[in-house]
Amino acid sequence: MNMNKWLLCFAVFAGTSAQAASYNFDVNYFGNGNAMLVAGSDDPTASTLVGGDDFNWTITAQNDGEWLVVAPDSQGYFPLMAFGTQEDGKRNSDFTLTLKNNGSEVFSLSQTGSEQFFVHMGTNTVVLDSGLVFDQMLLNYTLNFALSEDGLEQPIGSTPTGLLPIFGAPEQNESFPGIIYSPVPEPTSGLLLLAGLAGLGWVAKKRRA
């Protein structure tokens, strides 16, 4: 990074650090991509971060759910815990990712000056050991600065687009598979009712035929 760019980044950070905001994003996860904010949590989709802001993002599996790493040890996951963002840009951050199982820490990764490009904000590739089990994901993230990718490198905001990582929960990441979630939630009563009605309609149609 050249001197002018460093000066711009310093100006951005210096201009916002005095008004830095801290957010807590607490999410309960029920499997199959179903997530809900915990009462009292900040809403990430209604929060726009600027340089100097930070957040604590927690995703907790519900109903005895858990994630299991089944890929080889050398397999990496991109990105394990990163928000998609509305704004396209380059972001520089400090973060700590922590995975827990039954309240005990089973994995931790810290990086300073980490860069994320385009439309994600959080971790990059994370390498996990095969057989690792976790039921909670925590990301402590400080956005040092975010700049536009249009060649002008102007300061931009960073607004998350959902409650879960950009490619979904870990087991939903089709580009970087290797993590499964169990137990798989049973269909809701409403879905069971619809399935039953559909079955009755099929039987009636067969009888008329």
Give the pLDDT of the chain (209 residues) as one tens digit per residue.
444 444 444 444 444 445 899 999 999 999 999 999 999 999 999 999 999 999 999 999 999 999 999 988 788 999 999 999 999 999 999 999 999 999 999 999 999 999 999 999 999 999 999 999 999 999 999 999 999 988 888 999 999 999 999 999 999 999 999 999 999 766 654 444 444 544 444 444 444 44
Residue 161: per-residue pLDDT: 98
pLDDT reported for residue 151: 80
Distance CA(204)–CA(209), nearest Å, equals 9
Q: What is the side-by-side order of every strand in the sheet holding 66-69?
A: 133-134, 66-69, 179-182
Three-state DSSP at 149 gives coil
| pLDDT score recorded for residue 72 | 80
User: Alpha-carbon dihedral of residues 42, 48, 50, 55, nearest 10 degrees?
Assistant: 20
Predicted local confidence at residue 149, as pLDDT: 86
Write the CA distances from 59 to 15, 39, 54, 127, integer angstroms. 31, 14, 17, 19
How far apart CA 159 and CA 142 sit, in angstroms, is 14
Q: What does the pLDDT read at residue 209? A: 40
- From 91, 67, 81, select the one nearest 155 (Cα to Cα): 91
**Cis preceding-peptide flag for 187 (omega within 30 of 0):** no
Q: Distance between CA atoms of 183 and 201, rounded to whole angstroms?
A: 31
The pLDDT of residue 110 is 98
